[in-house]
Each structure stands twice: as C-alpha cells, then as structure tokens.
Amino acid sequence: MLDQLIHLKVNGTLHTVAVPPHRTLLEVLREQLGYTGTKRACRVGDCGACTVIIDGKAVLSCLTLAVEVQEKEILTIEALGDGDRPDLLQQSFVDCGAVQCGFCTPGMVLSAKALLDENPQPEREEVRRAIAGNLCRCTGYAKIVEAIEDAATRLS
Amino acid sequence: MSEYAVLGKRLPRVDGPVKAAGTARFTDDLSLPGMLHGKILRSPHAHARILRIDTTLAESHPGVRAVIVGEDFGDYRYGLKPDTRDEYPLARGKVRYLGEEVAAVAAVDEDTALEALELIQVDYEVLQAVTDPEEALREGAPLIHDDKPGNISVHMKTSFGDVDEAFRQADYIREDRFYSQSVLHGFLEPNAALALWEAPNRITIWASKQSPYFLYRNLSNCFNVPLSNVRLIQPYIGGGFGGKNGGYPVDFCAVMLSKKSGRPVRIVLTMEEVLSSHRRRHPMIVWLKTGVKKDGTLLAHDCRIIADGGAGTGVGPSTIANAFYFLNLPYVVPNVRFDGIRAYTNRPISVAQRGNGIQQIRFAADVQLDMIAEDLGRDPVEIREKNGAYTGYKTTSGMHVKSCGLRETITEAIRAAEWETHYRPWREKMHEPLGRIATGVGIACNSFESGARLTGHNCCTAVIKVHEDGTVSLLTGSTDSGQGSETVLAMIVAEVLGTRLEDVFVPQTDSSVTPVDPGSFGSRVSSTAGNAVLIAAKDAKQQLLKVAAELLKADPDTIEFRDRKVFVREAPERSLRFRDLARQTVAWGSGTTVIGQGSWGQSIPPLNFETGEGDAGGAYSFGTQAAWVEVDTRTGKVTVPRMVVAHDLGFALNPLAVEGQHEGSIAGGVGHTIYEHCVEENGQNLTPNLTAYGLPTVYDLPEEMVSLSIETIDPVGAFGAKESGEGTQVSTIPAIVNAIHNAIGVWITDLPVTPEKVLKALRDKKAQARATTEGQP
Amino acid sequence: MRLKKFEHFEPRTLSEACQLLKEHAGKAAVIAGGTDLVVRMKYGVTTPEYLINLKKVEGLSSINLVGENLHLGALATLTQVRCSDLVRERYPVLAESALAVSAAQLQNMGTIGGNICLEPRCWYFQQGSSWRQARADCFKNGGAVCYMAKGSTRCYALYCGDTAPALLALGAKVRLVSPCGERTVPIEEFFVDNGMRHTDLQPAELLAEVILPGPGAGQHGTYLKYRKRGALDFPIVGVAAVITKESTAASRLRIAVTGVGSSPLLVVPPADFPAGSGLTHEMINRMAEIARKQVKPVSHMEVSPSYRKELVGVLVRDALEKLAGA
Ligand SMILES: Cc1cc2nc3c(=O)[nH]c(=O)nc-3n(C[C@H](O)[C@H](O)[C@H](O)COP(=O)(O)OP(=O)(O)OC[C@H]3O[C@@H](n4cnc5c(N)ncnc54)[C@H](O)[C@@H]3O)c2cc1C
Ligand code: FES
Ligand code: FES
C-alpha cells in the first residue's frame, strides 16, 4: 500500500509520480499533475465529464487506476489547443454554440476527438453514440452534435 | 436590426475558447498553498433530536486540523426575509431532513477528512418524520420548526375580480388536480467553495454562485465581519439553474473551518451529496378550477396549491408568489382566486429552479386549457389565440403588459411545426385503432417575468473602464453561470463604444471590486444588468465624446463610434481610431481616466408577497411551443423527436445565445416531463446518482429543435430585450402532455410521464370504453 | 467517493492470478475493466484489501477461431467484441448486445468477462456509505433484509448484464481456471439465481474465456433492450433470441432474458413446442406468453413486477418478429 513511483505519459510528456494504488487517474491528473481540464463531476462513471483518451480510446479517468495506465498514451483536453489557439474541433464547439457552462465540454470534446480520429466522416448516429456517455445539462446536445459534424466537414 | 454593428449578431461566446480548452477554472480547479480539504457529516435521519456530538476522536485523528459543529455558528440563521430565517450552517439541536449537515472537518487530504467523519459520534433521538406535504399540514402532524405552527412555511391567499360571480356566469367549469414531482437542478459541477480566513476578520471565498451577493451578505452577518472585508470571487460556474443562488452550508463551513484551522479550506460536494441532500424544485399539488364561456373565453381561475417546501423556506415566498402571478398570464383571466401553501416537510429544501414556481402552475393551466378545448369541441390553437394577452393589457391583479407578441408566437410556432398538416383533434382520431407507435402534436403557451423588483437593494450596476489602448473592462456583479450573459453584456458595451466584442473584457465578479448586484435569477441579467451596462457605456462614451469633438472639430452630436473608429457621421473621412481617442483622452489636459458608471432597476413597486397585487417583473416574455411526440402503445414509452419554440423575447441581443437558452430549456423541460424524478422512501432519495435519477442523454432529447425569436422591442428592457432563459422551460411540459393526449387520448396529470403510467392510463381508458359500450342497450 | 487503500497485483499469467486469489482468499477481488468493481469500491460496498488486476495477463484479450468455435478472452473489451469481424459476421447478436452496454467510454473499458460476472444490482445496495447509514444493512451489505422484497429470506438484487442473454441464446460455454485445474461449462450452468452469489465461480476460480459454438449455416439472432434512457442505462429488460438451423427440417430457438432476476434466464420452451423451420404468428405469440409467465420479477426502480413481465412479452415478440422477417 506504499506509494509507487509510476511513469505516466500525458500529452506526450513523461511524468514520474509517487502514487498509492488506490488513486484514480482522475485524481492524479488533477491533484498531482495539474491537468485540471479533466473535470470531476460524478466520480462514478455516470457523466463522462472526466473523459480522457488512452491509446486512442475515450475512457473515464474516474474509474481508471493511475497505476494501471503506465506505458500508455494518455491525452487530456490540454493536448488540444489552448484558449488562444483552439484546435479545429474546439473552435467548432465555440462557433456552433456548443459550450454553455463549459463543465461538460472538455469531456465532450475528447469523446468527439476519439470519434473523429477513428472515423473522420461519421454519420449522425455515430456522433450521437460517441457522446451518449457524456451528460450535458445546459445545451440539449443539438449544438454539440452540430459542432462535431461541423468539425468533421472542416477537417475533410 | 441592421442598425446595430454588434448586437443581434450570432457571435460565439467570449468564454467559449477557454472552456473548450479546459483552462477555464472552476472552484474545484483552484487551490492555495497549505490548503486543507473539508468534508461534511450528514444526518442519517429525516427528523431527529441531536442529543450529543462527540468530536474528540476526530479531532485527534492525525492530519485533522479542524472540526466544527452547529454551536460554532452560535445562533446564526439565514433566509430570504427576516421572518423566514430558518436555515442553519450546521444543524442546531435537531436535524430536519436526511442528509442535513451536522458537522464538518478539515484535514490535510480528502482521505483523512473522510476517515475523520467516521470518527464523529452523534447520538440522535429519532423523531417521527413527515415527508408528505398534505400529511404535514394535517392537525397533529409532527412539528418541524417549533416556531412554525401547522408546518406552514408560506401562505398566500388572494383574490382579484369576483370569482364566484364569474363561475355563476360560466357556461362550463372544470376542476382538476395536477402534480409536479421533485426535480433536481442537474448541474454537472457540484457545489464547491474555497475559503480563506485571515485574522482578525477578513474573508476571501471562491464559490460557485450564480448570485454571489447573497452569500456576501450572509457571510458578513454570520461571521460578524464588515462587508468591505468579505471578498467573494466568482470562478467559472458549471451550471446553476437556481441551485447555486444563495449561501449554503458548504460555504459557511469552508469559512468556519478556515477560521478555526488558520488555513485555506476547500470543500467540493460529491454528486451523491448534491443529489441526495442539496436543494431541488418544489414538488407541487395544484387544484385548478376554471370557468369559461361556451366559446372558450376564460372567465375565472380558482386555484389552490400545496407546495412541498422541505425543511426550510429558502426563496419559497417567491415561488408561491410566482405561481400566483402566472395564473394571470399569458392569457386574459379577469377573475382569479389563489390559495397557496408552502408546507414544511422532513425533506431537503425546495428552492427556485429555472422557471421557479411557474412550471408547475402553467403545466396545470395549459393542460387544463386543452382539456376544456376538447370538452367544448374547440381548437387548441384558436382557444389560445382567443384568450391570449396583448400589448397594453393589465391583469386583474395589476401586472402591466407593455409588449406582447403572444399571437405572433402562436402563428410562428404552428407554422414551423406544420401544425395544419400534423394536427387532427383526438375526437377525430379516436375511432381509428392505435398503431404500435402513436404520434401526436401539442401546443402550449408561456409567459415569464423579466427582472423582479425586489425589496431592499434591487438595481444592477455596471462600471466601464476604457483603457488607453482602446480596450475596455466591464465590471459587473451579474454572473454568468453558463447562460452567456457575460457575452451579451460585453456586446452591449462594444455596440455603444463602437469597439469589437474581443476588445471588451469582463473580469469575474469579485465583491471587493465589482458593484453589488442582486444576482442571476428571475431572468433579470440581460434586461436589468443590460440597462445598467447601457447607461455606463453611454457615460464612458460621453467622456470620450468631449475629446473627440475637440479633435475632430465637430459637434458631439454628429460623431459616431463604430468598428473601432470614431468619425463624423456626414463626413466619415474625418475620423480617428478608437484607440487613439482613448489614448488622447487620458492625456487630455491634466489627464483623466475614462470610467463610465450606470445603475438601473425596475421602477415598479416591490413584489407583494402578501396579496400578489402589482407587477412580478419589469417586463413579460411570451412564447409558444409545439411538441411532436411518439408513444409506444405497448410499452407506454414516450419520445419527443421534435420541438418548436417561438418566443417573444423582446429583442434577440445574440441569437446564438438565445437558441442555446431555448434548447437548454427544452432539455430541462423534457427531463422534468418524462425522465427525472427523485424516488424517495421515508425522506431518503433512492436515486442520488445521475444514472438512477435519469438525467437525459443525447438520445432522450429532441433531435430537432427549432427556435424562433419574435422581437417586440420592449420599452423597458435593454435594447428592447426581455428574457429567453426560463420562459421556454415553462411551456415544454404542457406542450408534451398535450401532444401525448393528441396521440393516445389520455391525460397525464401526474408528472413524470413514466411509461408505466401511460400504459395504465391506456388500459383504464380501454376498460372504461368497454364498460360504456357494455352498459349501452 | 474515493477508494479505500488496497494492495495491487499485476499477475502475468492466469495461474499466477489464481494463486494470488487463493493466497488472499476472502480479502481479494479481481479487476478487469473495473467499471463495475471500482464503482462498488467507491461506494464502499466492496472493500478488497488486495486487488488482482488481470490487465497484464498475457493473451487474455484475444479473440480467436479454434476450429469452428470462437474463443473470446475474458479481457476482450466490449468495443473489441462488437468491432471484431469474427463476431460481427458470425454472431451479430453478441455485437448488438455489447453495443447496448452503457456508452462508448464504458464499452472501451468494460470487458466481456466483467460484463458476464457483473455484480447483481439494487438501489439499496449500490449507494455510498453515508446513504447506507440511514437504514439497516441489506443482505448484500452483510445484513438480514432485502429491501426489494421485504420479508424475504434471500437477496433479490437484479442481474443486469447485457451480453449474458446473447451468450445464453448462442449456447456459449465458459472456461474457468483455478489452482486445482480448469473446467468448461455451459454458460447457463455458470449462473445461479442468487443475488448474493450469482455465479458458480469457486474460490480462487477465474473466468478465462468464452467459447461460442460455430453458428452453422443458418443462424439468426437479435438482442433487444428496453431501458429508461437511450444510453448509459442498464436494461430494465433485455431479450436475446437466436434461431439456429439444425437440419433442413428443424431449427432450434433459444431465448434468454436479463433484468428479471438475480441471474439471466434461459426461457424454456415447452416439450411440445414445434421446433419447426419457420416462426409462425401463433408460435411467436405463444413463445412471448411463455416467456412472460416464466419470469418472476420483483419490484425494482420505478418498475413494477407486472410491467416488467409485460415488457418481456413485448420484447420477445419483437425479437421473434424480427427473426421471422430476417
Ligand atoms: C454508468 C454505467 C452504466 C453501465 N451500463 C451498463 C449496461 O447498460 N449494461 C451492462 O451490462 N453493464 C453496464 N455497466 C456495467 C459495466 O460497465 C459493464 O458491465 C462492464 O462490461 C463490466 O466489465 P468490467 O471489465 O469493467 O468489469 P469489472 O468491474 O472489472 O468486473 C466486474 C465483476 O466481475 C469480476 N470479474 C471480472 N473479470 C473476471 C474474470 N475474468 N473472472 C472472474 N471474475 C471477474 C470482478 O471481480 C467484478 O466483481 C455500466 C456501468 C456504469 C458505470
Ligand atoms: S466524473 Fe467520471 S464519469 Fe462522471
Ligand atoms: S455546457 Fe453546461 S453541462 Fe454542458
């Protein structure tokens, strides 16, 4: 139960951190590595706010143990553009009005990114399916779906 | 509205990029050196006397820095009005609902704080709990607050016109009972606060608050600290919807723990805590009796409600008053009688939620209107057009309608919904067999207040600083909890000063810097704060204009500010850049600073919580919604694939933001109608997680949402704007319920519309039909 | 909502994993995708002192054809399963059921083994510790009452896995390994209708793989799920139906239901049920009625037992109609 030194590759940077096994990836990202763009909402898998991309797949960092994702490529929202230079997908979210309070947004963007990376020209149904695990109270989702489709068009 | 350079444009929100980038900081993202983590111990009983709290073990637990209990706050209680202060930062003597805050600890990390909670020993004497409002009002029911006889938290009884006479005149009278359930706010960011106490008496707190100045006053009173020493800084807010208005135990405890430990303390609730014991919408039983003429003209409403207030009053008086006010609009009802009771129960406290009290009443009234239309063989659209309020109308209770586009919203909504194609009255459809999927359309109208006149401090204030490089800061105490008001207020500044939206910066609300403000509730920000910003911007412009007139050698009246330029209207070549003007102005003469200031509040009498006489707000929005539903007649499952909103919002300051508000309102409304519900047992919420509770996913909300704005340019609101943030959610419920009736011929009067209820209603109807046919000779 | 302390092991082989389980008997738990276990650990309803992580076990996530049979490693994720060409071509019903689980992130994390072994669920059991303090513990939390069926002497927690009915209908087998060796059993024998212990896993035994018999030439199947919301939710009822052509004259029909008891239920057709080649309207009605009668749900969530039964009838009928049309 002692802390373990682990190596996490986050957004291309290798971090070495001491963590006990019972730390979730969400906790380590936020509390030890300062990646606070990954949001902490339900903490039990219900909402998708903590979504990150591991080895190309969208997963929930609140249900992932930090010790089990060594040697993997972890992408958080910080891997995309920043406030000054958003990447294309983030720009679509902004332009289409897909952001309101913004608390679901990082997770939503990452779910969308995982989809588009794998399937650059998704059908409407595929877009909906990709974000079905991300709850949003503010937008009603229509503008989020529109933003992802807009990004797909702009990417092609 | 092409006369505007900035307003009326679909501009993306200014805080969009940082939110999409994940760099926008919410309370949980902030930390301070030496920060401790706070956790709250909650009551496992719905009603119990606290006999003893022993914190010694917790206090001596390694890593624990402070433990607090109710006594630490002395006799401090808080509430909306002096006579409704019935909430405690931590329970004193008694707990009144399951999950009520009893003690709190601060420790070096969350794990230690959680361990310490388990070491606090509380002895309770369990009391009989009452969790049903009707039971609570019965004689002999256990008393929840010793000084509130009968468990009555609010009682409003009032009457306008001659209701009895109107019923005598009526050709048709109908009386129904409706019920609206317990619904949560559903924001994704749990309530959170980070507090720093600096001896001897200075508080700094970062807290997720849509109306931060409530807490600013609360903290000053609670800790006996002058207001100048309460610094409340507002980080980004992950949704509020009414559930982040005032001060809550989480805030008081963070400050007290900091005071006791001498360290900054952050408390972030878990979603389980939020959903099981934080605030929620008022469940409400509505008995509505309505009298009409043969042609459907409304004559009178006689309405009785019992609202379940939970264990505290919160903003309850406004909820009950709103229920009364919006019996009077959007339709003309000449005679209205109202008896509204808000009962205390041993449940978490009910507060405002998007639509505060109006959903429940309009659900009842607008569904009943469809019932009446059907009973009289009238068309649902026609009956709404016939009864709709109009510009210049004054309700029998004294609400002044200064602008009203209700009829246009009806016309536009049914046009967009292709009503003529899809609508056939149930009396025509009823003879056809129901298919597996039955479809139906429904409509409902709404009205909503824009900016209530409060007692005490009511106005919004804006301060505008023009920097010497031509950029502008807007200081306002109005918060943006996600609705986009920051963008809209910045657009007003950009419009008046002729700068671009990106030149205007709106720093976060900070009570020691930004002007005091009532808060973001009652749809007041765009119209009320908007006017304050308009005045402040004009003030700043006036200061710049003086110098511009000298520089351009022109009469100030002939000078225009547009797109970062300042020029003579008739001779645009005589111009200078806005930034140059700013620079020259600050250096003019012996130098100056351009600071514009503006305050604005509704010039109407304050809300009357006793009689409900007079206005509920400075202006009223009106709207119509059409819903398209599909009902699976074998499972009873209802889906809403399409919804149309046409809303008279006065003026769409930013149409993109408006659409977002409408779509978000639909989301909340569909959730309320079909999915969301706190299932409870003896005051315990069995659904304290988002999955069990059923917050709608992308698959559960209309795939197609059409949002239309009707602009009536209100004489009061900023640039004619009224509101678009709440009214739409009011009519979503009745539109869907009416559409369900149109699909399958049953009225669901008890929310939520669960599949099982729909199926049962269908069965009952069939059984009834069989009984009638068999009964016939 | 934070995890309690535990010791973490990452065995490289199954036998090593079994050995660890044996060593820490009663105090250890196996974690695969963790999407069920970690939630329970956060709620404090499962509190292992030792966590045996299967993620590093070699070859446990492979999907291979062995002769006619398809072998699915227990650690294959639901996304792997639903995207595998072998699964999609040969057992579309299984791909459908994996796609019906929760939502994308959970399919990326959740494994087929974890989905099969998914703990039975109940609103009274899966709650945080402070919530549970408000009432006496239920059977599953070490107490002596079941709040779903008050007065009962057993636990009625509901089994809600989505892939199990598809696997039952496909006639899958599971290969189990333990320190004493291994055994392969039909999946219907693996499940036990007991909310406290819903599988036949013995102490220190692990699920290694799922084996699906070759589909033959004419197999059709479908999985239909009824849930409150369009995603994320566990099934209120899920029905899988598979018709397998056994000869030119005869077909075998297997129907399995999830969400109605503490284990998934294989609907037993009566002895006189015509195992004929085509599904007639009468047969469909009759089978729907039989399924409806065989399930004995208790009241759970906002759903009454009679409504749940009703749903079983509707889903069985819809599934069979779909197969008849295919
Ligand atoms: C919000 C949410 C929604 C969900 N919705 C659904 C849904 O709709 N349908 C559904 O079916 N599930 C749902 N789930 C549950 C879960 O995500 C899936 O069932 C998933 O497939 C479980 O697999 P896992 O690998 O994550 O399991 P784990 O959590 O790793 O394990 C589950 C259980 O199985 C045991 N176990 C795992 N592997 C083995 C093995 N090889 N041998 C022996 N024992 C083993 C574990 O010890 C544990 O007790 C949901 C979960 C969440 C959080
Ligand atoms: S915080 Fe991880 S799913 Fe909600
Ligand atoms: S933008 Fe607020 S929850 Fe999605």
Number of domains in chain A: 2
Asked whether residue C20 is domain-assigned, the answer is yes
Candidates C4, C43, C105; nearest CB to A48: C105
pLDDT digits (tens, 9 = 90+) for B282-296: 999 999 999 999 999
Output the CA–CA distances (angstroms, integers) from residue B353 to B622, B668, B689, B729, in the order listed: 19, 10, 19, 10
Which residue CA neighbors atom 48 of ligand 1 most closely? C37
Q: Is the dihedral of CA B222, B223, B228, B232 positive or negative?
A: negative
The answer to whether C1 contacts B697, with C-beta atoms less than 8 Å apart, is no
Residue A51: nearest ligand to its CA? 2
Mean pLDDT for C307-313 is 97
Q: Which of B446-460, B481-495, B615-629 has the lowest mean pLDDT?
A: B446-460
In the DSSP assignment, the letter for residue C226 is: E
- What is the CA angle C72-C87-C109, rounded to 5? 60
Q: Based on the domain organization, do A109 and A70 belong to the same domain?
A: no
Looking at the fold, whether C41 and C110 belong to one and the same domain comes out as: no
pLDDT at residue B776 greater than cutoff 70: no
Q: What is the mean pLDDT of chain B?
A: 96
The model's pLDDT over B497-533, given as tens digits with 9 standing for 90+, comes to 999 999 999 999 999 999 999 888 877 788 889 999 9
Same domain, C6 and C105: no
Are A40 and A101 members of one domain? Answer: no
Mean pLDDT of B438-465: 92
ipTM, interface predicted TM-score of the complex: 0.98
Domain assignment present for residue C6? The answer is yes
Same domain, A41 and A73: yes
Q: Quick check: C248 pLDDT over 80? A: no
Residue C306 and residue C288 in one domain:
yes
Q: State in Å: Cα B481 to ligand 2 middle.
A: 21
Nearest to C104 among A4, A23, A133 (CB): A133
| Residues contacting ligand 1 via CB (< 6 Å) | A 45-46; B 691; C 29-37, 39, 54, 74, 78, 101-102, 106, 109-111, 113-115, 117-119, 160-162, 201, 206-207, 232-234
Looking up tokens 């999907």 gives C63
CATH number of the domain to which C6 belongs: 3.30.43.10
pTM attached to this predicted model:
0.97
- Distance from the Cα of residue A20 to its chain's centroid: 24
For residue B700 the two structure tokens come to: 């559960």
pLDDT at C272 over 90: no
Same domain as C235, residue C104: yes
pLDDT, residue C276, reads 61
What is the predicted pLDDT for the residue at A1?
Answer: 60
Least CB–CB distance from A143: residue in B238, B241, B663? B663
Which CATH number belongs to the domain containing residue C83 in this structure? 3.30.465.10
Q: pLDDT, tens digit, for every residue of C167-180? A: 999 999 999 999 99
> Does any CB of chain C come closer than 8 Å to the CB of residue A24?
yes
Residues of A in contact with C108 (CB under 8 A): 57-59
Claim to verify: residue C69 and residue C52 sit in the same structural domain: no
Whole-number Å distance, alpha carbon B238 to ligand 3 midpoint, is: 7
Report the share of chain C in percent with pLDDT over 70.
Answer: 98
Residue B61 to residues B52, C35, C321: CA-CA distances in angstroms?
Answer: 20, 32, 64
SS3 call for A136: coil
**In-domain check, residue C150:** no
Q: State whether A67 and A31 are in the same domain.
A: yes
C122 domain-assigned: no
pLDDT at B1: 39
Q: Is residue A112 located within the same domain as residue A74? A: no
Cα(A135) to ligand 2 centroid in Å equals 10
- Closest atom, ligand 3, to C-alpha of B482: 2
Nearest chain B alpha carbon to C5: B111
Average pLDDT of the residues in B47-72: 98
DSSP state of C227: -
Question: Does one domain contain both C236 and C314?
Answer: yes
Would you say residue C127 lies in a domain?
no
Give the helix/strand (H/E) hosting C183.
strand C181-186
At residue C19, the pLDDT reads 96
CA distance readout (Å), C127 to B104, B273, B687, C32: 21, 11, 9, 22
CA-wise closest residue to B452 among B401, B531, B558, B525: B525
| Ligand (nearest to CA of B483) | 3
Of C58, C78, C107, the residue that ends a domain is C58
**Is the pLDDT confidence value at A118 over 90?**
yes
What pLDDT is recorded for position B454?
Answer: 79
- Say if CB B501 and CB B493 are below 8 A apart: no
Q: Domains for chain B: give ranges and CATH numbers.
A: 16-23+459-600 (3.30.365.10), 32-127+198-238+244-269 (3.90.1170.50), 280-453+607-768 (3.30.365.10)
Is A132's CB within 8 Å of B663's CB? no
Beta carbon of A53 within 6 Å of any ligand 2 atom: no
Residue C79 and residue C108 in contact, taking contact as beta carbons nearer than 8 Å: yes
Pick C8's closest partner by Cβ from A21, A111, A132.
Answer: A21
**Residue A14 sits in which domain range?**
4-79
Check which CATH number belongs to the domain holding A19 and give it.
3.10.20.30
- Put simply, the chain A residues between 79 and 98 with a CB less than 8 A from any chain C CB are none
H or E element that contains B771: helix B755-775
Question: Does residue A47 sit in the same domain as residue A64?
Answer: yes
* Chain B residues inside the 8 Å CB shell of C131: 272, 276, 684, 688
- Evaluate if residue B774 carries a pLDDT over 80: no
Q: Does B561 touch chain C (CB under 8 A)?
A: no
* Ligand 2 near A29 CB (within 6 A): no
Indicate whether C188 belongs to any domain.
Answer: yes
> Within this chain, do residues C72 and C49 fall inside the same structural domain, yes or no?
no
Q: Which of A79, A97, A113 is the last residue of a domain?
A: A79
Q: What confidence score (pLDDT) does residue B376 get? A: 97
Q: Give, in order, the Cα–Cα distances in Å from C240 to each of C91, C166, C219, C265, C281.
A: 12, 5, 13, 10, 18
Residues C39 and C166 in one domain: no
Residues A69 and A96 in one domain: no
Determine contact: B673 vs chain C, CB below 8 A.
no
Q: Is residue C171 part of a domain?
A: yes
Could you tell me if C7 and C90 lie in one domain? no
Which residues in B lie closer than 8 A to residue A43 (C-beta atoms)? Answer: 270-271
Domain residue limits at C26: 1-58
Give the separation between CA A125 and CA B321, rounded to whole angstroms. 44
Q: Convert the pLDDT of each residue in C128-153 to its tens digit.
A: 988 999 999 999 999 999 998 888 99
Q: What band does A86 get if pLDDT is binned at 50, 70 and 90?
A: confident
Asked whether residue B238 carries a pLDDT value surpassing 70, the answer given is yes
DSSP-assigned letter for residue B518: -
In this predicted model, what pLDDT tens digit does every residue of B1-55 receive, in sequence order?
A: 358 999 999 999 999 999 999 999 999 999 999 999 999 999 999 999 999 999 9
Shared domain check, A97 and A51: no
Q: Given pLDDT bands bounded at 50, 70 and 90, which one contains residue C235?
A: very high
Q: Which of A40, A57, A79 is the last residue of a domain?
A: A79
CA A143 to chain centre: 18
Whether residue C51 sits in one domain with residue C178: no
- Give the position, in ligand 3's atom list, of the atom nearest the Cα of B188: 3
For residues A58 and A121, state if they share a domain: no
Q: Are residues A34 and A61 in the same domain?
A: yes
In terms of domains, do C7 and C100 share one?
Answer: no
C203 and C217 share one domain: yes
pLDDT greater than 60 at residue C264: yes
- Per-residue pLDDT of A23-71, as tens digits, reads 999 999 999 999 999 999 999 999 999 999 999 999 999 999 999 999 9
> What is the three-state SS of A36-47?
CCCCCCCCCCCC
- Of the three residues C58, C82, C104, the one that is the final residue of a domain is C58
Query: Considering A57, A79, A101, which residue would you say is the last residue of a domain?
Result: A79
Same domain, A8 and A74: yes
Domain tally for chain C?
Answer: 2
DSSP string covering A37-82, please? TS--SSSSSSS-TTEEEETTEEEEGGGSBGGGGTTSEEE-GGGS--
Contact of C293 with chain B, judged by CB distance below 8 Å, is answered with no
Token pair belonging to B675: 């999915």
Tell whether the model's pLDDT for residue A107 goes beyond 70.
yes
Structure tokens at B9: 């444009």
